[in-house]
């Protein structure tokens, strides 16, 4: 292993001349850019407890009307990454969003891609490019980059969902922006999760005759995902996990280009200990409770809690209940695979 020269070894006059023309020598900082063996990670494991966040989110509903908030969100900001940056992991933004009965979060579109994962409440809906989709607990709804979307609430009581965006990456390359739009006029037809893409392995015949749609399915109902997970758990072997990926039904690839989404079920007493992966990830607890150990940090989780895990993390999740525990996962593996540096260890 080579011993690199330091900045202090260079004459001050030489350093001053470099600074005058905005040049910096690489070799004193080479190992900070390219450390041996594993990346240097600022991101630390973090858990946000819904029981603590919920009352503060509801209070935000009393303090700030939707007209002044546009999107009433509390960001899940990992303190190891500087809370002002709004990151849960280096590439994943998370927020808890509240909408109250009768409110409308106005129509807009933006360059980052986003998803909504419904945490609680009934009567909420999202409209994406004219397609009105109900928001039921556990549903995953896509609002991809550049597509018009707005939210509303025609029921009673609060509706809360978890936002996940690729905002940190898009913002870091100075490409993040938003455009306002007039309210959409939804179609009267049910969304495509209830009609055209009702079952796996089936899609409209007309789709065979055209280029694949980038986002043909924008809502993944939890009741169907849960049913599919249960079917897997009843037949999975002792060392097999029920783990399903959310995909584009026309291409079989990830449903968004940068972030990936999946659902995991753990049987009573079962432990999930995947190989170390180069991607960062988030685990949201849909149902169940248990213990987690992330890079040696121990924590207990409960329903609707959210856990952030760094890149290259050692992860263990254990279901301590007498029923199946369910998790929603977000990771940046699609981006890493496209860039060619995704790994498992």
Model pLDDT, residue 255: 97
Give the mean pLDDT per block of 10 residues along the chain (345 residues). Answer: 90 98 97 94 97 98 96 97 93 98 97 98 98 98 98 97 98 97 94 94 94 96 97 86 97 97 97 97 98 98 98 97 97 98 97
Model pLDDT, residue 23: 98
Domains, the chain, with CATH or none: 38-199+212-339 (2.60.120.10)
Q: Quote the CA–CA distance of 234 and 103 in Å, as a whole number.
A: 42
Model pLDDT, residue 1: 66
**Model pTM?**
0.96
């Amino acid at each position: 292993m080579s011993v690199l020269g330091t900045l202090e070894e260079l004459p001050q006059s030489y350093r001053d001349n470099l600074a005058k023309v905005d040049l910096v020598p690489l070799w004193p900082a080479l190992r900070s850019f390219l450390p041996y063996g594993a990346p240097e990670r600022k991101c630390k494991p973090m858990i946000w407890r819904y029981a603590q966040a919920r009352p503060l989110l509801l209070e935000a509903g009393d303090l700030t009307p939707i007209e002044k908030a546009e999107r009433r969100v509390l960001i899940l900001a990992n303190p190891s990454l500087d809370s002002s940056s709004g990151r849960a992991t280096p590439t994943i933004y998370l927020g808890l969003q509240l909408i109250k009965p009768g409110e409308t979060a106005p129509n807009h579109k933006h360059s980052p891609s986003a998803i909504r994962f419904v945490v609680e409440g009934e009567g909420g809906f999202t409209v994406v490019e004219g397609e009105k989709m109900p928001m039921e607990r556990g549903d995953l709804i896509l609002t991809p980059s550049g597509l018009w979307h707005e939210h509303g609430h025609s029921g009673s009581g609060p509706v809360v969902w978890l936002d996940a965006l690729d905002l940190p990456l898009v913002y870091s390359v100075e490409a993040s922006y938003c455009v306002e739009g007039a309210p959409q006029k939804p179609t009267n037809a049910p969304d495509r999760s209830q009609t055209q893409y009702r079952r796996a392995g089936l899609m409209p015949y007309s789709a065979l005759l055209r280029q694949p749609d980038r986002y043909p399915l924008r809502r993944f109902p939890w009741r169907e995902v849960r049913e599919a997970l249960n079917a897997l758990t009843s037949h999975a072997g002792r060392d097999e996990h029920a783990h399903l990926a959310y995909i584009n039904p026309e291409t079989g690839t990830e449903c968004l280009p940068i972030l990936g989404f999946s659902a995991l079920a753990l049987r009573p007493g079962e432990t999930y200990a995947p190989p170390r992966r180069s991607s960062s990830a988030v685990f949201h607890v849909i149902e169940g409770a248990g213990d987690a150990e992330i890079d040696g940090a121990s924590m207990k989780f409960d329903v609707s809690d959210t856990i952030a895990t760094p890149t290259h993390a050692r992860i263990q999740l254990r279901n301590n209940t007498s029923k199946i525990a369910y998790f929603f996962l977000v990771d940046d593996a699609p981006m890493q695979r496209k860039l060619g540096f995704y790994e498992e260890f």
